[in-house]
Chain A
Amino acid sequence: MTAPLLEVRDLVVRYPARARRTPPVLAVDRISFTVAAGETVALVGESGSGKSSTAAAVLMLRKPEGGSVRFDGRELTTVDERGLRALRRGVQPVFQDPHGSLSPRKAVFDAVAEPLRVQGRWDPTTGPARVAELLDLVRLDRSVARRLPHELSGGQCQRVGIARALASEPKLLVLDEPVSALDPSVRAGVINLFTELQDELGLAQLFICHDLALVRHVAHRVAVLHRGRVVESGPARQVCDAPTHDHTRELLSSVPAFDHLTER
């Protein structure tokens, strides 16, 4: 069996105390999971469960206090600055707030070209075609390239964010609640886009979410987080259809069931 693309073992993330005489906050308490190439793994939990802290550690935006994060055969927690820069290209984030993650003064074309320029891969002759290709990939009309974020809908902005992430040709996308800020009528389209991109490009995805019904749809495997620990994990359909931990059951029952109302 080949090694997984991402292997997180005994991860610990702790935040310093907010006030004197209060203990530091243990946000992630020895979490372990793996993501294989081409696989979608979901981390599910409420706010404070440690899912975003785990994502920040995987993206190397926050140095973990303990444990190991191995990506593509390299240990991220001990790698030096130069090695990190090279590895970061392989792990790209898509954030929750579609407008907030784009510069309001940068046109879509420049936003998508920016990662190529920063990484020294910008070629003035082929660059524009590459940007157009990336817009095609996220199903955006090429005419949006000249527009500014405020002229776009939330769903379009999120697609620009995804195109930016894809510009680096990553192997893993870290999706932190990528549709919860979107209008209900555009959510399904963006969710389908992630699935299509996985089928087309073989991308692995770490999907952070609080909605188990959605996770059942998109993820292959799921880990349920509660107070910084994994309380249940396994194939997404198994965990959602036959949960064994009380907290998973509570998460499931808090999403009002629709199926009994609709004829599906």
Chain B
Amino acid sequence: MSGRALLEVEGLRITATRPHEVDLVRDLSFAVAAGEMLAVVGESGAGKSVTARAVLGLLPAGLRVSGHVRFDGRELVGGTGAAHRALWGRRMAFVPQDALSVLSPVHTVGDQLALAVRSVRGVGRKAALEQAVAALDRVGIPDAARRARAYPHEFSGGMRQRAVIAMATVNDPDLVVADEPTTALDPTVQARILDMLAAFREQAGMAVVLVTHDLAVAAAHADRVLVMYAGRHVESGPVHRVLRAPRAPYTAGLIASLPARHAVSRYLPAMSGAPATAGALPPGCAFAPRCPAATDSCTRHEPEPVEWHDGHWASCHRIAELPRRTADLFERTGT
């Protein structure tokens, strides 16, 4: 990474304390530079959403955070939460999966956006509403002045998500954390919204952390990608390197099992087993029981991230011995 990162996460550990202690995220480190889009990719239970919420300071009670989260050099872990409050809305903003969870049903979309403006800037009602309409217009809501007077339930799912993105970005934050922002939407709507977010990000120069379970979404929009499994780092680096030449078998398997556009066989290369869950992790590398390349030593020690190539890191004991085309590990091995 060149220069100082906008967001630095170092040795992050997130622990659920009830009913008994379970680590949801362990030893996680990554950084996001200003203006960069990082995709955090993982399956259910990989720890990607709690990581996003730890960055934002929005973890539910009962989860304990240790390690470091630094935003523009300032430490956000520990303390009273005042550090986070000073950043929310101004410098760091959140786009959740479910737009209705952050929109009030009893206020118009325009009023809610105007409130977001007024909570940060000392402007009058009228000026705030004008900025709100401009923000709706920027995210591609047609006839924004009229739509600003509508209530969230009068918007379609895609339009609601656009409104939430408008609200998150109305005060020009430096970082937007989006947790599966388009997962609940139709694929064509999903593509349009992600394109809009990507274009908007470039224009405004903001950094984005995009949490997704969909590698294809990461491939299309992110600069860098962080792949997580069972709460740990699996692979990270420039998106084209990681997806074109993955070094961790888990990443390779995820890519290999996607339907290819020109494949001939009706069978897909498939991974065996099911994702590991926190609290019931196998010993050693959590992916070892499903990994076609695993050896005895994989089940004894957890692998640490190793830099394979300029900025491309992978956590795998066998990184140096794997075939050049790691996808070959997953040629149809059955179901």
Q: Do A and B bind each other?
A: yes
**A residues lining the B interface (CB < 8 Å):** 46-47, 139, 153-156, 183-193, 195-196, 210-211, 213-214, 216-218, 240-241, 250-251, 253-259, 261-264
Interchain CB contact (< 8 A) of A254 among B191, B215, B261: B191
Q: Which residue of B lies closest to A190 (CB)?
A: B335
The 4 A-B residue pairs with the shortest CB-CB distance in the complex, in nearest-first order: A188-B257, A153-B274, A256-B220, A188-B270
Interface size on B, residues (CB 8 A): 45
Q: Roughly how many angstroms separate A196 CA and B272 CA in the complex, as a whole number?
A: 16
Q: Which residue of B lies closest to A185 (CB)?
A: B271
Residues of B within 8 A of A217 (CB): 259, 263, 266, 268
Chain A residues with Cβ below 8 Å from B44 are 154, 183
Partner of A264, one of B215, B263, B267, B290: B263
Q: In the docked arrangement, what's the CA distance between A197 and B187, Å?
A: 29
Chain A interface SS verdict (over half): helix
Partner among A185, A213, A261 whose Cβ is within 8 Å of the Cβ of B240 = A261
A184-B213 in contact (CB<8A): yes
CA distance A211 to B261 in the complex (A): 12
Binding site for A on B (CB under 8 A): 43-44, 186-191, 213-217, 219-220, 240, 243-244, 250, 253-255, 257-263, 266-275, 290, 325, 327, 332, 334-335
User: What residues of chain A lie closer than 8 Å to B217, measured between beta carbons?
Assistant: 256
CB distance from B158 to the nearest CB of A (A): 11
**Distance between Cα atoms of A46 and B156 in the complex (Å):** 14
CB-CB under 8 A from B327, the residues of chain A are 262, 264
Are B260 and A139 in contact (CB-based, < 8 A)? Answer: no
Question: Considering the chains assembled together, what is the distance between the CA atoms of A187 and B44 in angstroms?
Answer: 13
Nearest residue, chain A, Cβ from B325: A263
Which of B187, B215, B240: most chain A Cβ within 10 A?
B187
- With CB as the reference atom, state the residue of chain B lying closest to A196: B335
What would be 22 A-B contacts, judged by CB atoms less than 8 Å apart?
A: A46-B187, A183-B275, A184-B43, A184-B213, A184-B257, A185-B257, A186-B273, A188-B268, A192-B267, A192-B270, A196-B335, A211-B187, A214-B259, A216-B259, A217-B259, A217-B263, A253-B191, A256-B216, A258-B255, A259-B262, A261-B240, A263-B325
